[in-house]
Amino acid sequence: MIDGATLRDPTRIDIRGEVTIGQEVVIDVNCIFEGKVTLADDVIIGANCILKNCTIGKGTEIKPNTLIEDSVIHEQCSVGPFARIRPGTEMLNESHVGNFVELKKTTLGEGAKAGHLSYLGNSEIGAEVNIGAGTITCNYDGVNKFTTTIGKGAFIGSNSALVAPVTIDAMATVAAGSVITKSVPADSLALARGKQRNIENWARPIKK
């Protein structure tokens, strides 16, 4: 607190390692800091967060119930609530992940966004990319891990599965609900889903 932090309740903080802080840092209740943690100026840490061996850049907000481990979050980012940032992740300036998003060994480019309910593992994601809700990078075949690469400005529709190794080039669009198994050229639309059929006068099952 003498060095420049505001603690919402000084009796409810657990420091288990070395914490370095800048000016005007705000830390809410029930946060745990493990290993070596660096918080730059104007960082806000919400309630119930766990930070381990990580660096948080200037002006970044870590929202409540977020876990960050062995990662670097750059300036003016927004993380959480209820996000999990796993080892090897780097979020560049002004990028955003929202609720129930998990990143692992992933670089999220400047201004890129993954707002809801997504898993992005072993990924290289460019600037200004939009990741729709429910998107998954299928990075593991049961033995080996593979990389997904998404170019600048690409748009990934909700509930898409990107089967690595695969590349989505700059400004490409993936239609919602697609399973992408081969690379998508720049400025194109990838549509990979079954054709819808509507069955009329269909009777629902009746409880026996």
Q: What angle do CA 16, 21, 24 make, to 5 degrees?
A: 130
The answer for residues whose C-beta is within 8 angstroms of residue 144's C-beta and 6 or more apart is: none
* Sign of the torsion angle spanned by Cα atoms 93, 87, 52, 113: positive
153 closest CA partner among 121, 103, 113: 113
Helices H / strands E in the chain, number of each: 0, 28
Residues designated as active site: 116
